[in-house]
Structure 1
């Protein structure tokens, strides 16, 4: 532990501070076990590093129970990649787990057990981050599964309330279990005063990214490789300067080519084509960029 101390105390640094960018992503990691039930830590760490994410939510992340080895794998991710870590609701809360890593200081974090009267418990992290000098709220969440529609509706309603009541710029990355533009989708985005990162993407079921008060630059979907059964979704956003009025900010859904933005705004090139370690841009075969 003493030998690791210098790395563990180094201040995390965001990837693109000059552009005021934040890259946020969500990934369901299935308790750090791959499809053959081997530990996936090394591959997860490599992928997070290659994707250059500033804030990432991990779902199904609770490995601290005895049956999962009584281990906190987020500590290793935080130390090796130099992130602040919020490991989410404790194992005693009996959720599947949600955790967050952040290159930005975590000013406040609240752990939620979402309403679950009819089935499994669901967790959420609502955190306020200091993003380039501006308070930005984020939510990492994992709703219950499709077997309990009452749970999912109440859980989504509670997430919408949290987002609706916040006055800060907001980024949502979560597991909602709904088809695009269905009831729970409308509760989340309309009820939460949030914008879908790409409402024309109809090939989604569980993971979604939403935003408000930041400028969306790009959206990417990256295949899972051999890890779990769920892809990575990532969004790039420009955060307004401190004091800048965001009340009139409206999303543009005009698609543009990657060349529309300087290279600093692009998603990493190494995930094009066949990608690396089985991780590559899929569904669209390339990131989408917006004006």
Structure 2
């Protein structure tokens, strides 16, 4: 009996904690309301299973407790019960998977009109790259990284000359415009995550990953690394500024292009960079275009 009471109190306390908890999701600031909906469906299905199963267990402990004159009935198998449990479990799992699959289908289908921005992670900061007037990001790879070429752009790729580089700065995005965020890591595994956007994705060394979203509310939001990436993981933060298209264009006009960086680079550094580029027989991945 005490155990049954404890289980019932556990259920009551869990429900009360959820209803009166001060910790809730951050306000949504992107188009990914479907991700919130998928989480809500999962929460309600798991909550129903948690409440029903625990209350059933408490009832069983009371109803079938040891009492004088009552003898236990041994039943090692019950095909009907097993079929019912399998059926309702399958219904619950399908109910949790379906909204997530719908959201994922949209998540990986990037609109044709989406702009492109690259986010580069390293221990322990974020840097960003925007395409220039040609609208195409140039090729980049770790093998091109140097103190003068911190994002590793291919110096022989003409598409990269007008790229705009923002090293250890803020990510700026226009409100209401879809954007494909291409992700690249310079060292270890990272994860780009803005809670208000809901969307997130790992940065995997050696490959290019991506996600897309549409910012819906102007404001400044925190960029977090959601993957343990070393001793300074907790300090790997950044800012994303969502602003009007006009303000975004004005900010973008003030950024430095790769060609400007090359113009200010010492000739010796340029020569070394070109030698490395010419020595590479395998071209850098261009999936970021």
State the TM bucket, normalised to the shorter chain: under 0.3
Q: Where is the strand percentage greater, Structure 1 or Structure 2?
A: 1
Q: Where is the helix percentage greater, Structure 1 or Structure 2?
A: 2
Under a length normalisation based on structure 1, what TM-score does the superposition of the two structures give? 0.23
Larger RCO (CA within 8 A; separation ≥ 6):
2
